[in-house]
Every structure is written in C-alpha cells, then in structure tokens.
Amino acid sequence: MFPGLRVVRFWLLVLACAAGLAAPAGAQESPVTGDWLIAHILSDPESLNPLTSNDATSANLLSYVFESLLRRHPQTLELVPHLATSRPQISADKLTYTFTLRRDARFQDGTPLTVHDVLFSLKAIKTPWVNAPFVRVYYQSLVDAERLDDDTIRLVAKEPYFRNEDILGGFSILPRHYYDPEGLLAPLSVRDLDAMSPDDTSPQAARARRFAEAFNTRFARNPMGSGPYRFRDWKTGQEVVLERDPDYWGTGKPGLDQPYLDRRVFRVFTNPDAALVALKAGQLDAMGLTPIQHLRQTQGRRFRKQFAKYLYYTPGYTYIGWNNAHPIFRDRRVRQAMTYLTNRQQMVQTILFGLGKVVDSPVYLFRPEYDQTLYSHPYDPQKARQLLGEAGWRDRDGDGLLDNVLDGQPVTFRFELKFNAGNEVRRSVALALQDELRKHGIAVELRQLDWTIFLDDVRHHRFDAVILGWAMPLTEPDGYQVWHSSQIANQGSNFISFRHPRVDAILETYRRTFDPQQRIALYREFQQILNREQPYTFLFMRQSILAVARRFHNVTIYPGGPRPLEWWVPKALQKYTTVLTP
C-alpha cells in the first residue's frame, strides 16, 4: 500500500476509535477561561531547565512555558510561524536562514522578546559546558548567527541539513536577562562558541564556562519563557503547577493558541493503581490508563458517565537496551539471542492486552521510512541456544548457569536489568524476561529506581541492560542523536555505546540529503544494520488510553496526541476558581 494512504487510513481508525469511546461535547459553544486541569504524572520531571532536561515529562511541562520561532501545525504537521512573522528566507545553497521576529512578543515578566534573546538562546545551546549534548547535536552545522536589525536575524550553517529549517526555527527562546544576568555570553558570538572545545582554556572559554556552571545549576526549578503558562510551584514528589499568564502576549492574536484553563496541575503518583483511585475520587481530571485499568477497572456506568476515554497510537516505542560495551553484550550473537528469548508477541497480548504492535525499528511504524521488510525476530529458544553456543556460552560447572571465558576471565551469564519505578508495563516486561532467561541458564537481577536516579545511571552508562522508551517524530526522523558513535561520550543519547562505522556514515550522509527517496533508501539500510546487530531489543509501540473528565470540552486527538492547551470548561461546569494576578 502507498505509505500516504496507510497513514490516512490509520488516523481515520484512530479518530473513529476515539469517537466511539467519547462523544464530543459542546461543539457549538464558545470557549471560556477558568477552571483547572489536574493530570497524572508518574514521576517528577528531571528538571525544568529547557536545555538540560531530556525526559518526556519535562518536555511536556516546558512546552507550555516556552515558545519558538516556528512550530508544527497540530493537524497538518506543516511548519508555521510563531515568534517569527513567517517561515525563513533560505539561500539557494541552503546554508543561510533569515528570520524576521514579531514585535509584540513578551516574556512572562513583561520584557520584550528581541533578536538579542534569540541570539542568546543559540549561544547557550552552542556553549560546550552546558549540559545539553542531546540538543547541541542538532546544531552542529550552525556556525554563525548575526543580528541584521532589531527584527531580523541571519543564521549560517557550514553544511546543508535537510531539517535545518525545522531545527533552526524550533528551539526554545530564553530571556537573556533572566538566564544570563551577568551578561557572560554577551561579548561572545556563536562563531566563537562553535570554535571552542571542552578543554579550551582561553579567557573567552573561561567566561563561557562560568556561564554554563551557573546555567546548569540555578535554573532547574524556576523556568521563565514567553509561553501562555508561567511556572508557579513544584512540590517534589507531589505536584508541579503552571498558571495561565493573564498578560500573555498572544491573547486574541490570530493563528496562536489561546489558553483557557487557569491552571495546569501535574500531580505525581508513582503507583498507577493509586492514581486511578484518585481519578475516581475526583482528585485527578485526566490520566493515562494501563491496559488492565481500561479493560477491567473503568467499564462501569458510573465511570463512563464521569469520564470519556480516548485510544490512540503514540509515536514512540519501548525497548530493552543492551550495554554494547559490557563484556557479555558486546557480542552480536548474544544480543540476537536475547531477542529470540524475548516473546514480544506474547508480551503485547498478555501485558498490553493486545493494545499495541511489535516493532523492529526506531522509525515510527506509519512513516514511509519504516522498512516493512525487516526480519521480525520470533520467540525461538532453540535458535537462541544455538547462537549462545556459538558465542562460547555453556554450563561448564553444572550449576545451572551458562558461563564463558571473556578477556581471559571466567564469567557467569548474570546481569542486572534496570527500569524506572512506577511503570507497570516495564516491570511486567522485566519479570517476564527474568522468568524466561532463568529457564535457559541466565540469571537476571531486577532493579527498579526512581526516575531521576535511573536517568542519571543511564546517562553515565552505569547499567548492564535497561528498559526504556523513545518518542518518535511524526515528521522525518533523524537518528543521529541516538545512534551515531559521537553521541556516546559526554552524557549523549547513545548511552548503550553502539558503534558501527557504516551507521555513522549513513547518518552523516542522510543529514545532507534533500531528496526524500534517497533518504528513505539510506534509512532502510540503517534499519537493516540495526536489525542484524540488535543493539536494542525493540519491543512494541503502545496504544495510549486517556481518561478525561467529561466537563472538559474540545478534547481532540491529533496525530501527535491530545493538546490540553485547547481544552476548556463551560462556566456552569467549572470546579476550581483562581484569581490570576499579573
């Protein structure tokens, strides 16, 4: 089937499913402001620093606080202007991008947003000592930025990158007076910072390092941007509160999101069962349900009367990441064997109750780049035992566990599998894998950790294997951040230490390729290599199940999921009252 038709049919199915579960309410009414939305989160955000945080919870919260030059239209996914007046002028060689800024944008303290703030934001990204390798990787080609006048900025890249318009228009604009009150980056240019290396000892580098030390440590819990919601409070382990900015500069402006809810409260429940109790008791207004909660605990008439449910596929996947630098897992045959011993189809049926699909690639299943010809490793213990035997693993001492000699030392096949506490799906995957591997002479110790501790271990490569997930773009993918070998060091996203020269070459060429069909061919070769190497055991893409109190109107499921920014509550149904102050 033609990929575009497949995507269209998929989204028609999603929307039909959502419509069947939740009848739209109040379609003829006009939106009004007021009320709160109290939603469930599994853990505290890692940080509310817009550059140094890299988890989904932080990204979600910060999307209400910060804005960018361009954004994606939620329905069409086309780039549209936001803080810029239009999409940029792009030079014929695709190396120069010129943006014109709106003159009416303001930060949440009333300070005008100017070209100087755009320049500062890029400087912060390019500063080598800012803890943002997962952001900086997308700006490697940016070598200069120049203010042309009070409204215009020109960005210069050293090489073409097919996503440059998206990337150069998509970063969060930070107020320089707030994040750099000493003006440490003011005398430095983007070109200066681009030329610096982490071991630079020049006076300019010392100045940039001073900025980074302050930026990395002082702004984890106190964000300020130009967005429709401002940060109000964070009680660790309890909740994060955002409040609608009554003086939001975009109010009433055509083409911009109009916030209606006075507060967004993100309430922490590490136990999904406790969260469901809170939802039913009215202490939460919205939460993502587990499959068993959806099928067995929320089917009653009383629940259906109070809450609407929406089912949709989320662009993301769950995986088991093998530390490729670990003596046991550096052998491709062992990683392949681990996948053969992982009964992925059964996990979809028994853990997700059929609400998901097995995936074999880091590309969104409904993107044209996804290679439908990939070999989908079945559950095959016999094949796994054969591969392990070829790699030298057998029970030499009769203790029931496989052993081997690696680097001249006897090694028992024993490893630790880490995952984050509170995620019942990942816990179930871990228990199923532990039970299966025990039958084949492999000992697995399970360790669940608080989210922030877990992420710290992951970024510093302190693990044998982990269960994690990645969100995937609905637009053209770029795997450089996760799969290029340059991203192993400095807390980069290639934390499993995967190295493959051909993959590096493909990802580098892919970024410079503007022909979509050539990119698809490159990405399919990339997927075939991952399919052989099995650095991850790709598990599944889940269906999300969202329960929302029925007093909220305009709950729409877009390709990227719901957008609570658009939700509102009629005055007669509002539950909470807030007095907003400037």
Give the C-alpha separation, 48 to 224, whole Å.
Answer: 10
- pLDDT tens digits, 348-400: 999 999 999 999 999 998 899 999 999 999 999 999 999 999 999 999 999 99
Give the C-alpha separation, 86 to 69, whole Å.
Answer: 9
pLDDT at 16: 38
Residue carrying structure tokens 């945080």: 53
Total number of residues shown for the chain: 582
pLDDT at 438: 97
**Residue 446 CB coordination number (10 Å):** 14
Position 150, amino acid: D
Helices (H), 299-450: 301-306, 332-340, 344-350, 381-390, 424-438
Closest CA to 527 of 367, 396, 413: 367
Write out the two tokens for 574: 């509002």
The sign of the dihedral angle between the CA atoms of 111, 115, 119, 125 is positive
On whether the CB atoms of residues 272 and 423 are closer than 8 A, the answer is no
Mean pLDDT of 554-575: 95
Q: How confident is the model at residue 314 (pLDDT cuts 50, 70, 90)?
A: confident
- Predicted TM-score (pTM) of the model is 0.86
Give the C-alpha separation, 378 to 380, whole Å.
Answer: 6
Q: How confident is the model at residue 8 (pLDDT cuts 50, 70, 90)?
A: very low
- pLDDT tens digits, 77-95: 999 999 999 999 999 999 9
SS3 545: strand
Q: How confident is the model at residue 28 (pLDDT cuts 50, 70, 90)?
A: low
- Domains of the chain (ranges; CATH) run 3-42+229-314+544-573 (3.40.190.10), 66-218 (3.90.76.10), 316-542 (3.10.105.10)
Asked whether residue 549 carries a pLDDT value surpassing 90, the answer given is yes
Q: What are the angstrom distances between the C-alpha of 298 and each of 305, 352, 449, 498?
A: 11, 16, 29, 42
Q: How confident is the model at residue 267 (pLDDT cuts 50, 70, 90)?
A: very high
pLDDT at 20: 41
β-strand pairing of 414-420 with 443-449: parallel
Asked whether residue 572 carries a pLDDT value surpassing 80, the answer given is yes
Helices (H), 140-179: 164-168, 176-179
Q: Work out the mean pLDDT of the chain and round it to a whole number.
A: 93
- pLDDT tens digits, 435-494: 999 999 999 999 999 999 999 999 999 999 999 999 888 899 999 999 999 999 988 999
pLDDT at 6: 39
* Cβ-based neighbours of 407, under 8 Å, separated by 6 or more: 327
- pLDDT tens digits, 492-542: 999 999 999 999 999 999 999 999 999 999 999 999 999 999 999 999 999
Q: What are the angstrom distances between the C-alpha of 556 and each of 14, 50, 64, 490, 560?
A: 11, 27, 17, 40, 11
pLDDT at 334: 98
Rg for the chain, CA atoms, rounded:
25
Count of CA atoms in the C-beta half-sphere (13 A) of 219: 25
Q: What are the angstrom distances between the C-alpha of 394 and each of 211, 444, 479, 533?
A: 54, 16, 36, 22
pLDDT at 579: 72
pLDDT at 578: 79
Give the C-alpha separation, 398 to 417, whole Å.
Answer: 24
Give the C-alpha separation, 555 to 105, whole Å.
Answer: 28
Give the C-alpha separation, 249 to 453, whole Å.
Answer: 38
SS3 516: helix
The one-character DSSP state at 297 is I
Closest CA to 139 of 111, 166, 179, 107: 166
pLDDT at 576: 95
Mean pLDDT of 205-224: 97
Asked whether residue 12 carries a pLDDT value surpassing 50, the answer given is no
